[in-house]
């Protein structure tokens, strides 16, 4: 068995690509951690848009900017071979059509970048509209590639 680099070092050396030596369970843990950060920041925006809490443009912007940092780091959390090895809702179809999965991740990257940009503009109606559009990018991928 080849010696494994510590994950942090391996990711550092990989410049955007997950090294083949990374264990599947570490990849799965990485992507779930990314989704945890995403959801943590997404839920308050969801509450604002649904008028469950007061709309706060500055807070919206702060969280939208955090959200936009996640999608560019998410794809490496779906490295080949990480469809099993730990509990996961990722469907095997991801790796059968990785080009389509990648395109859906790029859609999310584009929509979350737009969300942060529009938020900085401060137009509440536009922020609400872009939040809905971003949510559609989540749903488009989950419907096809995430188990219940
Ligand atoms: C390109 C595909 C794709 C997009 C876009 C996407 N997701 Fe996911 N998401 C997945 C897959 C696949 C999983 C299952 C991961 C696993 O269980 O290993 C997942 C899991 C999750 C989880 C559960 C993580 C856990 O700990 O089990 C949350 C929360 C989540 N996504 C939120 C979102 C939100 C919010 C968005 C939009 C802002 C989004 N996702 C966009 C594919 C996507």
CATH number of the domain bearing residue 106: 1.20.120.10
pTM of the predicted model as reported, rounded to 2 decimal places: 0.89
Enclosing domain of residue 67: 23-75+97-145
- Residue 29 within any structural domain of the chain: yes
Lookup result for tokens 């919206």: 60
Whole-angstrom Cα distance, residue 124 to residue 63?
15
Cα 148 from Cα 144, distance rounded (Å):
11
Total number of domains in the chain: 1
Query: What is the CA(7)–ligand 1 centre distance, in A?
Result: 22
Using CB distances shorter than 6 Å, the residues near ligand 1 are: 28, 31-32, 35-36, 38-39, 42, 88-90, 101, 104-105, 108, 134, 137-138, 141-142, 145-146
- pLDDT tens across the length of the chain (148 residues): 445 545 554 544 444 455 557 899 999 999 999 999 999 999 999 999 999 999 999 999 999 999 999 999 999 999 999 999 999 999 999 999 999 999 999 999 999 999 999 999 999 999 999 999 999 999 999 999 999 8
Structure tokens at 8: 């942090």
């Amino acid at each position: 068995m080849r010696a494994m680099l510590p994950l942090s070092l391996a990711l550092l050396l990989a410049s955007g690509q997950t090294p083949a030596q990374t264990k599947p369970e570490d990849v799965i843990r990485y992507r779930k951690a990314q989704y945890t950060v995403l959801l943590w920041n997404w839920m308050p925006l969801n509450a604002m848009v649904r008028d469950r809490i007061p709309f706060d443009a500055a807070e919206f912007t702060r969280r939208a900017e955090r959200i936009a940092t996640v999608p560019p780091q998410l794809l490496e959390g779906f490295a080949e071979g990480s469809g099993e090895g730990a509990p996961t809702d990722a469907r095997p179809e991801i790796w059968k059509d990785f080009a389509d999965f990648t395109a859906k991740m790029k859609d999310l990257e584009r929509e979350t970048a737009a969300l942060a940009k529009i938020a900085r503009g401060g137009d509440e109606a536009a922020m609400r509209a872009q939040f809905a559009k971003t949510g559609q990018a989540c749903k488009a991928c989950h419907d096809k590639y995430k188990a219940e």
